[in-house]
Amino acid sequence: MKNFIKDLIFLVIFAVLFYICTNIFVLKGNGYGSDVISFYNLRNNSLDIIFFGSSHSYASFSPDIIEEETGLVSYNFATQQQPIYITYHYMIEALKTQKPKYFVLDTLMLTADEEYTTEGVVRDALDKMKFSKNKIEAIKVSVENKEDRMSYYLNIIKYHTRYSELNLNDIKIGLTQIGLKNRGFISLPSNNEIMIDNSELLNITDELKISNKNLEYLEKIVKLAQENNITLIFVKTPCNLTEKQVKNINWIKEYSHKNDINFVDYNLNMNDLNLEIGDFYDYGHLSGTGAEKLSKDFSNYLNSIK
């Protein structure tokens, strides 16, 4: 019995130290939307709206402005180039602690055809997610080669060589688990040389079905929202689009119509936002001033459907 207790104490101490070391060594928030840690620090059942998607989401929706205009509390649970299959697992993760009224998804990544995305995108989204069955499933669907998955299950395998790069911020966040206090929103700087004009492409009415993998997870998302009595809102924020992307979005709109899902296309009513030079960061993203205009307009939309 004494040996058993000693072994048990050793295992507990090892597990705690392993957990702390992993948190210290893993890369911290890098400015690409939610750092995940911040989401876990939210008070349970404190959100009315959760935004999902890629940088097109986290650079467009300001939770502070939306709360001021609507009284609804929100968080931008978006990460760079977030593929739709990771979005689905983010939604599951969110529902562990939150009971929102709305899920808002920017639809750009539904137009992507790749079965798998890059390692950097996956790690930015999953490395700091708490270990659980949901994380395991997210890794399985995000990492094609089975032999590569172990370093996602145990992040220390990937990051143990970072000891020479560690700084006080790594140690502080690793020990306290206090993340970025931006509610997932990134206000991008203005670029005074860029103005987006999609007028020619937006005359395209043809539809192009999205990839089978994206459709599979789109349907999972719709079902998940229905099961949890959550209103699903699809959005396309202002950006330059290819002809193929426009056709995909047209297909998504028709799918949304058939499934009674709200779709707000800001590329169709970009003039209504009164966007000007300086309201864009680049040809794919709004700047902070552009996000302010969109967030106020989206707040009006939310007030109209409450």
5 is a domain residue: no
Amino acid occupying residue 9 = I
Q: Which residue segment(s) compose the domain that 161 sits in?
A: 29-165+178-305
10 is a domain residue: no
- Cα 33 from Cα 183, distance rounded (Å): 9
278 is a domain residue: yes
- Cα 243 from Cα 250, distance rounded (Å): 11
185 is a domain residue: yes
pLDDT digits (tens, 9 = 90+) for 216-269: 999 999 999 999 999 999 999 999 999 999 999 999 999 999 999 999 999 887
Task: Report the pLDDT averaged over residues 63-86.
Answer: 97
pLDDT digits (tens, 9 = 90+) for 37-61: 889 999 999 999 999 999 999 999 9
Count of domains for the chain: 1
59 is a domain residue: yes
14 is a domain residue: no
290 is a domain residue: yes
69 is a domain residue: yes
* N-terminal to C-terminal alpha carbon distance within the chain: 62
Q: Return all residues near 290 (Cβ < 8 A) that are at least 6 apart.
A: 60, 238, 273, 275, 279, 280, 281
- pTM value surpassing 0.75: yes
pLDDT digits (tens, 9 = 90+) for 147-194: 999 988 987 666 666 656 666 766 666 656 566 678 999 999 999 988
Q: 119: domain CATH number?
A: 3.40.50.1110
